[in-house]
Amino acid sequence: MTTIRLPASQQPGTVLGASPHVAESADAYRATGGYDDATGPEELLAHLAASGLRGRGGAGFPAAVKLRSVRHGGGCPVVVANGEEGEPGSAKDRWLLRARPHLVLDGLVRAAAVTGAVRGFVYLSDPAAGESVRRALAEHPPPLPVEVVETDHTYVAGEETAVVRRIDGGPALPTAKPPRPFERGVGGAPTLVSNVETLARIALTAARPGQRRAIARSTLVTLSGGPAAPVLTEVPYGIPLRTLAARHGSPDAAGALMGGLFGGLVDAHALDLPLEPDALGSAGTALGCGAIHFLTPDGCPVTTAADAASHLAAESARQCGVCVSGTAAVGKALYGLAAGTAGPDTADNLHRWSQGLRGRGACGLLDAAAGIAGSLLRSFPGLVRSHLAAPCPVCADAAPADGRHRLTVAVPQVAGACPRPARVPAPPPAASPTTIPLPALKGTP
């Protein structure tokens, strides 16, 4: 079970709050300054711009810029709290909706005031989170209509165009871009699709504008990997990855899978990097949703890469032929590498796909698969060569063909979150890597 670790110096302006294991009531939230109207929309927007707050859904786009884009889009804007957590190694968004729904709804209402939105939605797939949000709406009705929209959990269901498509009554599948939701979203209106942690930090900034910089430069992270239980905690930007590994119980980590599945693999030397979006981006990796899976010294990064590629192949929306064939081919190659059955051209193929598959799908899933392949070659080239020379006993013991569960993190327990039986979505169509040919990639090796 995932545990929650409070920061060493607990400040009032934190997303975790003082009692993260208990669902927060409206009265408890108001007692900490929530739902206060002291900070108006114009002032709040100025604070957000000055703080440099970035979105916490994965892309890290500046929150103030996104708000302004919707505000100036014309018509009657819509705001959406996106709580659909597709990354298997992340638990923060579902916990936040279960434990602190008022913080998220406060942020949603303030985003609506800034953009001029006339209605809002909370979008999620976790039934317990849905019940918690509905109870919060009944406890403190917002000044605009807010509807809870549930969807089946998939990797791509939280992509912003998939969110809009589902709210409009269609399937939760990405669409071609442009237009982006800020241009034409729900019902054709300019739409803000904002991650729930982003909205929580907007609400905290409104309540404590004097702490705006600290609020913007702190983030929730989900730490997993190795024998230690997964941990959800809140940390400031700039903390070394190696310090996070030690706090998690992985002081001898051999590297990490960063940003859920999107940041790729990094080796042990990269653990000296600070947890800061620009620094990580310059090093070829990403903070993403804040999920970090540490690699154990007695494990094998090839197994982790194969697990990640398998998850992506199974979660393909199967709308883009290049995504279906590309993710399947990457997954098959990485499993062959782990199983000791890879051919001599495997490394060359992985390199070619890592370069040529990026940007060719409707969403970022194919980019993530390409990133997994490229980061393995870049961070662990010696391991790739040794796997091509002889089977790896570590990979054999890990049974990589059954390993998708190793990347999955459970939500921390929250007392009073009103769980209800979860719906079991239909499994996605099985990928067929042996029968789907990979299209030729122009301009690649």
CATH, domain range 3-215: 3.40.50.11540
Q: Which residues of 126-141 are buried (b: 16+ CB within 10 A; e: fewer)?
A: bebbbbbbebbbeebe
> For residue 58, what pLDDT band results from cuts at 50, 70 and 90?
confident
Q: Does 443 have pLDDT greater than 80?
A: no
Residue 10 is predicted with a pLDDT of 63
Containing 231, the helix (H) or strand (E) segment is: strand 231-236
Protein fold of 301-407: de novo design (two linked rop proteins) (1.20.1440)
Residue 402 is predicted with a pLDDT of 55
Separation of alpha carbons 9 and 32, rounded Å: 18
Q: Does 425 have pLDDT greater than 60?
A: no
Separation of alpha carbons 346 and 303, rounded Å: 15
* Residue 430, number of CB atoms within 10 A of its CB: 8
Residue 433 is predicted with a pLDDT of 31
Mean of all residue pLDDT scores within the chain: 90
Task: Please provide the DSSP assignment of 176-227 as one string.
Answer: -SSSPTTTS-GGGS-EEEEEHHHHHHHHHHHH-GGGHHHHHTEEEEEEE-SS
Where do the structural domains in the chain lie, given as residue ranges?
3-215, 217-295, 301-407
Q: Does 154 have pLDDT greater than 70?
A: yes
In which region does residue 239 sit, left (phi positive, over 0), alpha (psi from -120 to 50) or beta (all else)? beta
pLDDT single digits (tens) 164-194:
999 999 999 999 889 999 999 999 999 999 9
Residue 403 is predicted with a pLDDT of 62
Tokens of 137: 């709406």
Residue 11 is predicted with a pLDDT of 67
pLDDT single digits (tens) 207-245:
999 999 999 999 999 999 988 999 999 999 999 999 999
Residue 232 is predicted with a pLDDT of 96
Rounded-to-10 torsion of CA 157, 163, 169, 170: -50
pLDDT single digits (tens) 337-358:
998 899 999 999 999 999 998 8
Question: Which are the contacts of 399, defined by CB distance < 8 A and separation ≥ 6?
Answer: none
Q: Tell me the pTM.
A: 0.91
Across the range 106-116, mean pLDDT stands at 98
Containing 150, the helix (H) or strand (E) segment is: strand 146-150
Domain 217-295 has CATH 3.10.20.600: yes
Angle at 220 (CA atoms; ends 144, 58), nearest 5 degrees: 75
Q: Does 419 have pLDDT greater than 80?
A: no
Across the range 151-172, mean pLDDT stands at 95
